[in-house]
A and B are shown apart, each in its own frame.
Chain A
């Protein structure tokens, strides 16, 4: 499995990224868009981040803000994409 900075699971890597680019502490289920914690450019940044970090492709049907609105939503999205790519 690919590792970054010694982290192996998606949630750890996503949490680390959030802690690096968002200047306030974020709860796992906290909706970062609804509470105005990030601006609209951040949605695009997140799409590019997960595509690059996890070598997945966000298809048009994946581009739903509900997939990107929190650490846990993004984790579920990445795990689902990884499962689709490698069903075993």
Chain B
């Protein structure tokens, strides 16, 4: 059973401290190993499953933690601070589970949510294909009507934690309309091929999935026909962006912490790095980036908590700001560390590689720029309460 969800400021502080203790004990010491081995140790996966953090934001009704978006953001920041690969596991599991929670029938919720909330089952999000990245409508994986089942044929690529997932939320074209179905790992005809040699979030166990006539009961279809992208994928991606945004806040904080430690300890030209004016400028910029990204993420979290119509757009705004700030901050941190920054003995090179992945997943920066221009044209700062 999950502990009670925090409801007060003191409760949030205590909750974040508890997550930080868990992360510093179990995740942070493994971050370098996860990056270098391009894998997540089975023992850590077992610890994560048992920790109930996988289901922390899912409804208590099904065994989840039921924490609100603010607590969820703060917890995600802690995971992102330590290891973006592990944070990405929380992201994909939560975003796909949230789609089932929001869109699934009562039978589907009853079937899958208890195991997803407890961490007994992990679910991956299978939308992207070789020729369908930013353009989700271009997916070519197809579904054929076989009476009470769909037959799925095609291939997916870049599926985060696809190597170990128990379930997959899969998107396919059916009768020229996108549908989404839940596919179990042991479904005959499903092949899972690990992907290696990645640039960042190297431990997130990406996989290519092959569907050679995979039969899926129609009862596994999530949402109405045609709702696959607009409703199901966007619901999941919205949760994904929220998680990535907060993960980026964690990256920025980690860069700042590493840079403060390094600048305080290292001496060059007869004085500590922290006393060089241009280094001080970098430290200032990092602090400002951290504060700005976190405040924007908190703003999105409050709107989501209140079910405000601006929630999805403000989440996209937060993801864009936080990911671009994370790249800038990690680049500065690498420069501040000099040659040491390029070494695996310091975390900043990993943080820079991971930050760059953040500006691609769940919508590239360029896709966000287009979407946010549409949002700007709504003049949300003028039409609504100016204090929010």
Contacts and interface: CB of A to CB of B under 8 A. Distances in A.
Contacts of B375: 41
Task: Name the prevailing secondary structure of the B interface residues.
Answer: helix
Given A20-B383, A39-B370, A64 B224 contact: yes
Nearest to A37: B374
Contacts of B173: none
Interface in A27-53: 33, 38-46, 48-49, 51-52
A48 B374 contact: no
Interface string A45-67: 11011011000000011011110
Given A51-B307, A63-B103, A65-B230, A45 B224 contact: no
A21 interface: yes
A20 B75 CA distance: 36
A43 B309 contact: no
Nearest to A49: B309
Contacts of B105: 60-61
A42 B103 CA distance: 17
A21 B104 contact: no
Given A20-B378, A43-B231, A60-B104, A48 B311 contact: yes
B309 A40 contact: no
B238 A44 contact: yes
Contact of B374 (A38, A63, A65): A38
B234 interface: yes
Given A48-B309, A51-B307, A52-B308, A60 B102 contact: yes
A60 B99 CA distance: 10
A87 interface: no
Contact of A23 (B102, B235, B371, B377): B377
B310 interface: yes
A40 B230 contact: yes
Interface string B246-268: 00000000000000000000000
Interface centre among B105, B226, B230 (most CB of A within 10 A): B230
Interface of B: 102-105, 223-224, 226-227, 229-231, 234-235, 238, 307-313, 316, 370-371, 374-375, 377-378, 383
Given A33-B230, A64-B227, A65-B230, 14 more contacts: A40-B230, A41-B238, A41-B316, A42-B374, A44-B312, A45-B310, A45-B313, A46-B309, A60-B105, A63-B227, A64-B223, A64-B224, A64-B226, A66-B226
Contacts of A38: 374
A36 to B, nearest CB: 11
B226 A41 contact: no
A48 B230 contact: no
Contacts of A33: 230
Given A23-B377, A51-B307, A41 B227 contact: no
Nearest to B136: A40
Contacts of A40: 229-230, 234
A46 B267 CA distance: 56
Contacts of B307: 48, 51-52
Contacts of A45: 309-310, 312-313
B146 to A, nearest CB: 24
5 contacts: A49-B309, A60-B104, A63-B102, A64-B226, A65-B224
Nearest to A60: B103
A80 B103 CA distance: 19
